[in-house]
Amino acid sequence: MWAEKETNGLIKEVLPPGSVDASTRLIFANALYFKGAWNEAFDASKTKDHDFHLINGSSVKVPFMTSKKKQAVSAYDGFKVLGLPYKQGNDKRRFSMYFFLPDAKDGLPALVEKVSSESGFLERHLPYQPVEVGEFRIPRFKISFGLKASEVLKRLGLVLPFSGEGGLTEMVDSPQGRDLYVSNIFHKSFIEVNEEGTEAAAATSAVIALRSLRIPQTIDFVADHPFLFLIRENATGVVLFIGHVLNPLEN
């Protein structure tokens, strides 16, 4: 009930059945909810089905949104980046969704490797200047995802909280803290992108050269194959959500 309330009904529960038993003493919970309307909404009457090419070589028919308005798109060596701003609220925060689209239909793994391994990669590849677009299509998609994050964190080297050695004395102001340990960490997330905007929730220097020195009059951005996306608060640089779309029909 707590997760459902904190995520506006998008995530019903975080803890799977059986995850809490007689040995459970504490549950740490965290939730993040985001709902943003595009600064320029898409015209739903112009949304049409087109092929989305999967990594295995097949394709599926997917609703694609489109627009003839200028878009913040930049082209780099092997990929393009699109930035879609959200309407600003009453504070100074400025959110945008960014789409990292590899040129090659099977180029997502290599692009993800670049993003994760090169320091400052995201900051160096965010488009700001709107340009005229030629062919412009991005798919509607909805993704829900669950993960037993404890195993992932252990593989990354975070083992002490799970070991029981030293306990959680820094977090729990009680003599019992030395006997406590983290048994599991569960994470769930949800995101939907449509013509109006985005609804999302979660619980729990190299020199880059342009492909051409000549700036084209128009630039195409057709996200008809797997791509990376993220939601970023631009004033602070904080990334709220990041993920990839392999098949917009799978959720």
The contacts found for 86-92 with CB under 8 angstroms, 24 or more apart, are: 86/36, 86/37, 86/38, 86/39, 86/197, 86/198, 87/36, 87/37, 87/38, 87/39, 88/39, 92/235
- pLDDT tens-digit map of 30-50: 666 667 889 889 999 999 999
Q: What is the reported pLDDT for 68? A: 92
* pTM across the whole model: 0.72
Q: What is the reported pLDDT for 211? A: 45
- pLDDT tens-digit map of 74-99: 999 999 999 999 888 777 888 899 99
Contact between 203 and 14 (Cβ < 8 Å): yes
Domains of the chain, with CATH numbers? Answer: 2-9+28-144+207-245 (2.30.39.10)
Q: What is the reported pLDDT for 136? A: 96
Q: What is the reported pLDDT for 16? A: 66
Please tell me the least confidently modeled range out of 94-98, 138-142, 170-174, 218-222: 170-174
- pLDDT tens-digit map of 95-137: 899 999 999 999 999 999 998 888 889 889 999 889 999 999 9
